[in-house]
Amino acid sequence: MNTTQKRVVHFKPELNSKTMTWVSIRTYHYNPPRPPEPFIHHRVPHQNAIDTWSVMLKRGWRPCNAPIR
């Protein structure tokens, strides 16, 4: 979650790929108390998702529980 940008990012591993491990990354606009609104969705290789999360942490993003829908 990044409160400055009012965004939430959800990382979810995709289990249906046989040759490579992929991660689905979904970004939402989040302005409580309204529910999150989808913004961007893309797939990346597992290692790229780890690298992306590391950069996000350095830039002020923080882990959080999923917002209630």
pLDDT tens for the chain, 69 residues long, are 898 899 999 999 887 656 678 999 999 998 888 888 999 999 999 999 999 999 999 999 999 876 665
52 burial type by CB count under 10 A (0-12 exposed, 13-18 middle, 19+ buried): middle
Do the beta carbons of residue 23 and residue 8 sit within 8 Å?
A: no
pLDDT at 15: 77
Q: Where are the domains of the chain?
A: 7-58
Q: What's this model's pTM, rounded to 2 decimal places?
A: 0.80
Report whether 23 contacts 12 (CB < 8 A): yes
- pLDDT, residue 69, reads 57
Backbone angles phi, psi at 32, to 5 degrees: -55, 145
d(CA 55, CA 64): 17
